[in-house]
Amino acid sequence: MEKREQLYEGKAKKVYATDQPELLVVSYKDDATAFNGLKKGTIEGKGVINNHMSNRLMAYLEKKGIPTHFVEELNERETLVKKVTILPLEVIIRNLAAGSFSKRYGVEEGTAFSMPTIEFSYKNDDLGDPLLNSYHAVAMGLATQEEIETIKKYAFAINEELKAFWADCGVILVDFKLEFGKTADGTVILADEISPDTCRLWDSQTKEKLDKDRFRRDLGGTEDAYAEVMRRLEEHLR
Ligand code: C5P
């Protein structure tokens, strides 16, 4: 496999073509943004952690029957993935109230839900990724009804697997964002990343935040928090 031209540069990753049409290389950066790009910064070493953590978690999910884009970790920051067309939806699963949910509905952060929730937002930077429901998504042609059903099924299954996984690491999976893509033959698979950038992870005992909220909220200790969750994940998988 040979890495070819850069196709895309996002806020946290770059994507490169390869000499094989169905494969891409993703390269993780240390750049961090929040609030739709209004806050910018660097989390030293984040690219290395997110690359490795996302790969370990996707390989774990594959074993549990969830199809993902993960193919092979190439080096510290780069991973070979299946080429997909990303569905322009952010899929958010929540187990406890936090973040935009707490703000929007006036529910105190940390309030546990009686069952996990799912929400979709329209991946569109110009519009600030507005919330939308599945009917909007189908009506706008962002996904078919069948694709939405598949996404919901996978998202809740991923939640059950990851909630249990992180619990064994002494971490509460508060909420997280997923993105799905379609391969050339139309199969829906999990894409993008699963990392402290895209999940809220709290220490089970102290409820300390071990994720990107440390950066978003200027809490300090962001690098240490990322390193700590990575350490716990590695220890658990050993
Ligand atoms: O901000 P909000 O409470 O809606 O975020 C819910 C979850 O989705 C958090 O874990 C956050 O890290 C993740 N998220 C993300 N990318 C976004 C928006 C939210 O990874 N653009």
The Cα 195–Cα 120 span in angstroms is 19
Distance of CA 114 to the CA centre of its chain: 23
Supply the pLDDT for residue 225.
98
Supply the pLDDT for residue 62.
98
| Contact indicator for 100, 112 with CB cutoff of 8 Å | no
Residue 199 beta carbon below 6 angstroms from any ligand 1 atom: yes
CA of 177 to the centre of ligand 1 (A): 6
CA of 199 to the centre of ligand 1 (A): 7
What token pair was written down for 135? 């009917």
CA of 9 to the centre of ligand 1 (A): 20
CB burial of 112-140 (b: ≥16 within 10 Å; e: otherwise) equals eeeebeebbbbeeeeeebeebebeebeee
Supply the pLDDT for residue 175.
99
Residue nearest to atom 7 of ligand 1 (CA): 176
Continuous H helices in the chain = 46-63, 99-105, 134-139, 145-168, 213-216, 222-237
Supply the pLDDT for residue 94.
99
Which residue reads 């992870």 in tokens?
201
For residue 92, which atom of ligand 1 is closest to its CA?
A: 8
CA of 1 to the centre of ligand 1 (A): 34
Predicted ipTM of the assembly: 0.98
What token pair was written down for 199? 């999940």
- The pLDDT tens digits along the chain (238 residues) read 999 999 999 999 999 999 999 999 999 999 999 998 999 999 999 999 999 999 999 999 999 999 999 999 999 999 999 999 999 999 999 999 999 999 999 999 999 999 999 999 999 999 999 999 999 999 999 999 999 999 999 999 999 999 999 999 999 999 999 999 999 999 999 999 999 999 999 999 999 999 999 999 999 999 999 999 999 999 999 9
Supply the pLDDT for residue 237.
94
Residue 209 beta carbon below 6 angstroms from any ligand 1 atom: no
CA of 124 to the centre of ligand 1 (A): 14
The Cα 35–Cα 179 span in angstroms is 18
The Cα 151–Cα 145 span in angstroms is 10
Supply the pLDDT for residue 164.
98
Supply the pLDDT for residue 137.
98
Q: Please name which of 210, 143, 149 lies closest in space to residue 182, comparing C-alpha atoms.
A: 143
For residue 174, which atom of ligand 1 is closest to its CA?
A: 10
CB atoms within 10 A of CB 28: 23
Supply the pLDDT for residue 81.
98
Residue 202 beta carbon below 6 angstroms from any ligand 1 atom: no
Residue 107 beta carbon below 6 angstroms from any ligand 1 atom: no
